Structure 1
Amino acid sequence: MAKILVVDDDPVTRNLVRAILSQEGHDLTLCASAPEAIGILYVERFDLVLTDIIMPEHDGFEVIQAARTLRPDMPVVILSAIDDKVPAQLTAAAFAKLGVTRVISKPVNPTLLASEVVAALVTG
């Protein structure tokens, strides 16, 4: 069981992630915005951050930066709708430079989400 911070402005996605990862036995904290998540990162310790990138006003890159500042070794997984115009390899390479452990595309595939979270926790 891992303590996971989930950040996504879409309530449907948050609830779906909660259903999937809670069933796997993880302890989840759900946030609807980057500022909310960053505030929580400063007071709680997490094993993994799962964040959307595109959110209103503040984006997931701010969450990643805060996570990297506070715990450089903590796995960060992006859950985002990757634009079809951007090659997946290019996106993955750019995210890797930010210290992102995994990238999962929306819409959420429950089996893939569960396995990618486990892989990120194991490999760091």
Structure 2
Amino acid sequence: MADILVVDDNPVSLSIVRKLREQEGNTVTGCTDARAAIESLTVHAFDLLVTDLLMPEHDGSEVIQAAKSIRPNLRIIVLSEIDERVPPELTMQVLAKLGVARMVRKPIKPAVLASEVLAVLIAG
């Protein structure tokens, strides 16, 4: 079992991730904005952060940077609607510099997300 923090301003995406992860016996905390996520990170030791990149006011990169300063070894998966014309390898090169382990493109495909989360949790 893992404690997972999910950050997404889209309630549908948040619901999909929460339901999928809870079905597998994990504890999932959901936040709809970066500020609430950063506050949660300061009071709870999560095993995994799953965050959207594009959110109003503060974006996912701010959540990632705060998470890495609070817990440098926290594993991170990014959810993103990054244009499909941008090669995933290029996107991951940029995200890897922030400490991101994986990226899942939106719209979320539950099987893909489940596979990525499992891979990150197993890799430790």
Quickly name the TM-score band, shorter chain normalised. over 0.9
Residue 80 in structure 1 maps to residue 66 in structure 2: no
**1:10-67 Cα shifts (integer Å, max 9, x gaps):** 0011111111111111100000000000011001110000000000010000110011
Deviations 1:70-109 (A, max 9, x none): 1111101001112123221110111011110110111111
Structure 2 segments unaligned to the other structure (5+ residues): none
Percent of aligned positions with the same letter in both sequences? 53
C-alpha distance in 2, partners of 1:84/1:78?
15
Secondary structure at 2:72 match in 1: coil
Paired residues of 1:6 and 1:30 also in contact (CA < 8 A)? yes
1:49 matches 2:49: yes
SS at match of 1:76: strand
Per the normalisation by structure 2, the TM-score is 0.96
Residue 29 of structure 1: aligned partner: 29
Unaligned runs of 5+ in 1: none
CA separation in 2, counterparts of 1:16 and 1:122? Answer: 21
TM-score, normalised via structure 1 length:
0.96
Q: How does 1:1-124 map to 2 (within 5 A)?
A: 1-124=1-124
